[in-house]
Structure 1
Amino acid sequence: MTNRTIPAGTVIYESMKDSVGTLDIITKGVVRASGDYCTIDLLPGSIIGIGEFPGDKYIFTYETTEDTTVYSYPYESEASLVALLKGNPKLLSTLVAAGVRFAKNMQSAVLDTMEFARTEYARLQSALSEYPSLAIQAGITPRSFDDLKAFNAPEMLDKAKGWHRDFVEDLYANEVKFKKEFYSVPSIGLGIGLTVNMYALESRDFMAEVMEYIIEFTAVSRDFKNHWLLTREKVAARAEDGSQAVTGAADESISNCLNTIKEFASPDPDLFAAFSSDLEEFINCVDRYGSEDKTRKLRRSLASGFYDIYLAVFMQAYKTAWEDIPLGVRMFLVFGFVDESLAGIDYTNKLAAIVSGIKLGNDQHVVTMYEWLRFIYEGTIVPSKNEFDLDYPAYLKELKREGRITAAGEKQLLNSMTDRLKFEIKNLFSIGNRLTFGRITTFVPVFDKENVTKALDQAYISPSLVNEQINRIRSVDFTAFCRQGVFSAPEAGVNSFFTTDEVLPYVILMPNIGSRASLWQEIDSKKRSTPARMIISIFHTESFEDTMIRLVGEFRWEMCKTEQGVHWNDVTDPSLTALYCDYLQFYRKNSQLSPEVREKISVTLKNNANNFKKVFVSDYYTYIKYESHNALRLNKQARSILFTFCPFSREITAGLSDNPQFAQLITKHESEVKQKQKLLNNLCVKFDKAGMGVPLEIKRQIELWTF
């Protein structure tokens, strides 16, 4: 035992720096134990070291607030505390009472810290719900912040509210009585002293868990907090400038959008007059989505006129800088907006705010329909296939074969950018617009408030949101967008080497409010190295995550069919589609499946009209959404096929390695990966011998298959 007097303002022990090695009885003065979110004052009779583990770093910083005297005892284990209490019988009741006070203060500190975490979580979740609308007011394209949305709320654990908490509270409330009658009894005092120390240590552990949660939550929310402050500043700045919201009264191009379109694009007078007449009749129609013949004809006529007007507007917009295009015209190009009364004032303002934040060229793979048509018109991308699966050259050949055009006409149309544009508008735009809307029979391409079934700020699909979701799927199914390629380097003795090349898809945001997405085509024409083309409503009313997973599943199926050609369902040439077709076709004879599983497959087939592709997409959704998180829902056969051709990423695989349902599949997969790595290493040796550096294509393969 040693004693020492410590001046006021001295840090005795520093949190997470000094190690616990002594038990210090305070005989005079006050020591303040400080944590990140709590402070406890230790009075005379208290013991520095209660609630701390011997040998560990101090969780609190202990600092004297006045001149203090302490008696120090070695602290190596619980036996050291027993020796201290037994060795000071005259101080026993005082030491035990001080221990009770500290345990009670520790529990209160944990509860306060927990409440801080819960309050901070609730505050940020509230800000998250307000953010999309605020971002639109600020003219910013809302971001998703999915990591923050997915972050779990802090839970109140039993350590903070168990029966021992009440026990400590009652000891503290009866301190005077118990100190006099019980704490001085050696066995009782020792038992209570050790018990409250154990509870203080439990509180210490829980405090560490809460602190870890706060640190992680702070890191995840940092980006959002900065963006939230920036968004609020921009809204405030707009309010000061009197431009917080664009209204029909404030912008003539919106309040009289149809006239603005006429002045901007100078469309054919007869076409414009017919479209204006149809639009007026549609607006005034009481049951404009009814099933009467007259109403259906009106919707068809309105749709036909819309695309004629869109072509005229596009041709003029293409020659005009995006920022110089009237706001109402930009809303027409991106959302199909044509009339303020049809859209409603509130929705009109939100559309204006969103389109004000859209910049062209920020993303080359996720684009609005207007941007996509620019690619087609410029010739950087070939037109999409039509509904009969014919690309533009094949379509022209068909017209020539039918005698509808001459050879000279075919050549002229093939090189005409305007005709290529018309082909794209007639097919992908008009048909895709109707498909993604979801209700084909009642579709109209103009923005109508009656079709809004979800808040626009929540339904809006921005390019950043699409990219985040695609990356999330790739983080699970890392070969989702890969296809086989061939690499050759004759100078190094490599004539052909099969590679796994990733080609990310185009995602085209259709100008409507819809509930569906569709894979328009998996490749351009016959080039397997070209991106797929996916379409989805720019305002999507269903779960975007679920829609994208199913869309990628559809791509998986169609890409396999394209790569396999006529052998896509030939089980002698194993592939994803071949094995899945075989599994679904002969499941009743599969001895590996139980009667219950066979019955479940039968029901699934009936629910999907015996369409093998639909069943696969449904299973792929389950595989990505649930199986990747160790929530097993598929049968053994389906899981085996999916894991063989759609293996999980290295991070997901590591988390599933202890699951017996995946163990054999993972072992086989790792063996195949090692074989690929061996081949890649041999290639690197060849390049080294040839005095060449490793080509970029091979570096990508090494990165892809390095586990």
Structure 2
Amino acid sequence: MGIVPCQSGNYSVKENDIIFNEGQDTQSVNLLLQGKLDAIISHSENACDAPKEQILRNGYRLFSIDQNVFINAADLFNSKKYSFSYIARESSTIYSFAAKSPESVIALIESQKDYAAYMVTSISTLLDLSYSALRDIRQIIKELSNLTDNLIVYFWLLKEKYSFASTPSENFFRDGLDKLQTLKDKNVDLPFKFDKAFLVRDFSEVFETEYLDPSAISTPRVDYYRHILELPLELRKSFFAADAFITEYHLKDASELFYDIYNALKESFCTANEYLERLYCDNKQCIFSEYQKASMDQDLSSHDTVEILKALDFTVLKIKEFAAIYKKQYNHKLDIDITYLELAVNQTKSHASASSIEVRGSGETISEELKDSLEKIVTYSDVPKEIGQAFLANFSTFRHLKNKLSSDNSVRELKSAIAASYFNIYGAVFKKVVSEKNTSRLFSMFLNYSYMDENVLTPEEVNTLYYLSGKQPAPASYSAYGTKDWLINIYSKEKDPSINEFGQDYNDIFREKKKRKELSDKDKFKYDNDLDGRVDFEVKNMLRVAQKLCHGQISVYFPVLHSEMITRDLSKTQVTDSKIQEAIDKIVETDFSIFHREVSYRNADTGIEKEFIMKRVVPDIIRMPIYGCRSLMWQEITGRDRTTPGRLILPAFTGENLNDMLLKLLGNFRWELCRTMMGVSWNDITQKSLTSEYMDYIQFYKKNKDLSEEAKEKVKAQIQKYHNRARDIFTSDYEIWINHESKGIMRLNKVSREILFRHCPFSKAIREMLSKQPRFVDMAAKYENSKAKYVRELENRYNKIVKSGIALDPELEENLNFYKYK
């Protein structure tokens, strides 16, 4: 049972459940009665809205907390937000006391004197554990700093000796030149051959380096609270119960000290990440990349590169060591693909590794794992022998086509034959991968990118896919899924299968089969729990259709990735979580309510029978395994529940502008969501809504007195351009609304502008800026007046609830804030 904010009570949590998120508002003080919790910290601002997978992937497990600890007492005296995310290490029980302020904590102590000692002890415990964690991470920073400084100094030494061309420009590399000169000035013995001892030596006194030092935190104060923990419990109880002033002083002082340590922890993990990025980063200069460039200098002999390659090997070795430390100590996997690094090192060496092969005579190598990829994938799928043999024969014919983008009938028939079997193989491989928990990158490349054959791609493209398949996604606040992860969610029943091309979902098909007497009610449980059937439905009805549509060129569509469909570098065209978040955030900054919908809210416990509130529901985003140029608004809700997320589909790679693609996609989403929420009244002008007003506008524009003849001609041309498709006509206006009108550049006519201002309002800052322009003055005034009136109505209604002695539900409070501050 999830903990309800602002509501006191006893709660049981299962092992591995996330109880609170870092950055989440504290609305209670929580006592761990039984069990054990892990405290997890992130190096980002907060993890308030992050899903469990993201917290586990991007967080660092610092320590475990045992029972009889108030886990967030210090937070109420500081930021009033949870400092850590808490995950149940084992089944646990928590008692939650409603509390929003230090005064609430003091009141709780006054009602139960023993809690004074428990509160001080709890904060002291967290303070002690956090300080130990701080010392550990700062030791890691010191080792990282020594290593990176020395590797950079050694780089410049080798450059002096061999005069290779590589000259890094990053500041930390330039600082290394100064450090080299310092060592020379102080007559430190410098190695001109590879020397492990030199590379890990501590030169901090020579360089006069000021490391982040735990002594920056008052050690005597930390020791004081450690000594409090060593006192007998009964003595602590009697001491803190004796004087409320003493208790309050200790609570505030310990909380302040804890927060200093906490902030130092955040800073330290950020610093450690900076040093790790100096060792290796895939998108900017780093020690690994500069040694690699130096080793491939054409003017160097194979003898000259030996020392450079030793340093390169050593760099990878140390990266692996730190990756192991982070995994063991913090249960954190570094965002560094070790396998790819080792492969990259092998590619730079003068002799080929025994575990690599040469492709297309190019001299570039790919992993042994990818040799004969097509045969391995088909064999692994266990499809019937005749299907597998026919697929391989057809693919061999395709492989030898001179023009793989040909639209000739014979080529199209060949592609269709391959596509017909492709999705059978795809589904079979996925189910086997899941059942065997197979982590092979070959199958991940197949499931996420539609990679099947190394012979229809360049070695560079194959290696890029291999690298991308092992790369961890950056933190993102939107639910974006690769195809493999999405199907895992379908298979595990976390998500329901998508609708088919006729708008029917998995349950609709059951009802249809029931009508045809193929199934009955007694088959429902088996049907719902047929995991393979759920995946087959998704692959057949969504993946098969969506992949083809996302490709965007039906006449030359082919389900398997090949070089001729790739227009730009794969690493630059990959549709990543961070790119999606950046593009969507940009739109949300302008259209703040795009993911909000009005839903009915009830709470029998507080006597709320029915309230309409604005609820934010972000759609799921699914990437299709294809290099394509189109996005799809697949469904605006899931099933028949109007509070469920919709589904938006993007290609895994695109050469198009992702910002433009998502803007168009979200315009379609806005239209379809409004249409669904309004039901049969979606085009009824007596029921004011985005779709009803817009339909009225485009149907009767010829009679509209607010439109000039020139404006009417433009509307007519727009309707013809989009073949009278209302959604596409609206979306074209929506794109102008976001890109131009939000900046005060007038492109829309008066009528469409007013509709969009009412139903797709700009954020407050943009409205204030536009309200100074004559064409927006009246619209802005009407909007603000209408909003202020509704806010007063809500406040009056909600005040009655509060006055009756019932705390305002967070959902109602959030609804009020939506209208009040947005």
**Residue in 1 that maps onto 2:589:** 475
Worse overlay, 222-231 or 644-653: 222-231
Q: Which residue does 2:391 correspond to in 1?
A: 275
Is 1:676 the equivalent of 2:790?
yes
Q: Is contact 1:271-1:308 (8 Å) kept?
A: no
Q: Which runs of 5+ in 2 are unaligned?
A: 1-168, 171-270, 293-311, 314-341, 348-355, 358-364
Partner of 1:233: 286
- How far the C-alpha of 1:637 sits from its partner, in A, is 0.3
2:485 corresponding residue in structure 1: 371
Is contact 1:569-1:578 (8 Å) kept?
A: yes
Aligned with 1:243 (options 336, 343, 353): 343
Listed as ranges, the matches of 1:172-571 within 5 Å are 229=278, 231=281, 232-233=285-286, 235-236=288-289, 239=292, 240-241=312-313, 242-244=342-344, 249-262=365-378, 264-321=380-437, 325-358=439-472, 365-402=479-516, 412-489=526-603, 492=606, 494-571=608-685
Retained in 1: the 8 A contact 2:405–2:564? no
More divergent stretch after superposition (680-689 vs 467-476)? 680-689
Compared CA separation, residues 441 and 414, structure 1 to 2 (3 A): farther
Larger Cα Rg: Structure 1 or Structure 2? 1
Structure 1 unaligned blocks of 5 or more = 1-122, 125-221
Conserved 8 A contact 2:625-2:652: yes
**Separation of aligned partners in 1, 2:475 and 2:434:** 13
* Equivalent pair of 1:267/1:313 in contact (CA under 8 Å): no
Residue of 741, 763, 768 corresponding to 1:654: 768
Shift of 1:224: 13
Shift of the 298–544 alpha-carbon distance from structure 1 to 2, 3 Å rule, reads same
Q: 1:234 to 1:392 in 2, by over 3 A?
A: farther
TM-score, length basis structure 1: 0.65
Other structure's SS at 2:590 match: coil
| Distance apart, 1:256 and its partner CA | 1.8
SS of corresponding position for 2:489: helix
Task: Give the aligned residue type for 1:556.
Answer: R
User: Compared with structure 1, are the counterparts of its residues 353 and 670 closer, same or farther at alpha carbon in structure 2 (3 Å cutoff)?
Assistant: same
Q: Is contact 1:569–1:581 with CA below 8 Å preserved after alignment?
A: yes
Rounded to whole Å, the distance in 2 between the matches of 1:384 and 1:639 is 35
The separation in 1 between residues aligned to 2:691 and 2:814, in whole angstroms, is 27
Residues 596 and 580 (structure 1), Cα distance of their counterparts in 2 relative to 1, 3 Å cut: same
Question: What displacement does 1:608 show?
Answer: 0.9
Identity across matched positions, percent: 29
Distance of aligned partners of 1:636 and 1:359 in 2 relative to their CA distance in 1, 3 Å threshold: closer
Counterparts of 1:407 and 1:704 in 2: how far apart (Å)?
A: 44
- Is the 8 Å Cα contact of residues 636 and 646 (structure 2) preserved in structure 1? yes
Work out the CA distance in 2 between the residues paired with 1:427 and 1:547.
Answer: 23
Distance in 2 separating the partners of 1:356 and 1:307: 24
Question: Measured at CA, do residues 517 and 611 of structure 1 come closer, stay the same or move farther in structure 2, by a change above 3 Å?
Answer: same
CA deviation digits over 1:543-573, x for unaligned, max 9? 1111111111101111111111111111111
SS at match of 1:693: coil
Rounded Cα–Cα distance in structure 2 between residues aligned with 1:522 and 1:635 = 28
User: Are the equivalent residues in 1 in contact too, given 2:474–2:578 (CA < 8 A)?
Assistant: no
Residue of structure 2 in register with 1:699 after alignment? 813
Q: Which amino acid in 1 is paired with 2:614?
A: T
Identify which range, 269-278 or 255-264, moves more after superposition. Answer: 255-264
Q: Cα distance 1:359–1:612, how it changes in 2: closer, same or farther (>3 A)?
A: closer
Q: How many residues align?
A: 486
* 1:665 pairs with one of 749, 756, 779: 779
CA spacing shift, 1:423–1:364, aligned 2, 3 Å: farther
> Measured at CA, do residues 652 and 402 of structure 1 come closer, stay the same or move farther in structure 2, by a change above 3 Å?
same
Change (3 A) 1:560 1:364: closer
Q: Does 1:591 align with 2:691?
A: no
Q: How big is the shift at 1:464?
A: 1.6
Is the CA contact 1:587–1:598 (under 8 Å) kept in the aligned structure 2?
yes
1:106-145 equivalences under 5 Å are none
Q: Distance between the aligned counterparts of 2:636 and 2:692, measured in 1?
A: 18
CA RMSD of aligned residues (A): 2.7
Residue 346 of structure 1: how far off its partner (Å): 1.4
- What SS does structure 1 have at the residue aligned with 2:343? coil
Which whole-Å deviations, capped at 9, do the CAs of 1:470-493 have from their partners, x for residues lacking one? 222111111101111122345655
Q: Distance in 2 between matches of 1:427 and 1:643?
A: 38
Task: Note the C-alpha offset of 1:640.
Answer: 0.2
* Aligned counterpart, 1:161: none
CA distance in 2, matches of 1:705, 1:234: 51
Q: Does the Cα contact within 8 Å between 2:754 and 2:779 map onto a contact in 1?
A: yes
For residue 660 of structure 1, report the CA deviation from its aligned partner.
1.3
Q: 1:638 — aligned with what?
A: 752
User: Are 1:582 and 2:582 an aligned pair?
Assistant: no
Shift in Å, 1:269: 2.8
Tell me the alpha carbon deviations over residues 142-185 of structure 1, each in whole angstroms, 9 at most, x when there is no partner: xxxxxxxxxxxxxxxxxxxxxxxxxxxxxxxxxxxxxxxxxxxx
CA contact (8 A) 1:519 1:555 kept: yes
For residues 317 and 360 of structure 1, the distance between their equivalents in structure 2, rounded to whole angstroms, comes to: 24
Instruction: Quote the offset at 1:535 in angstroms.
Output: 0.4
Partner of 1:610: 724
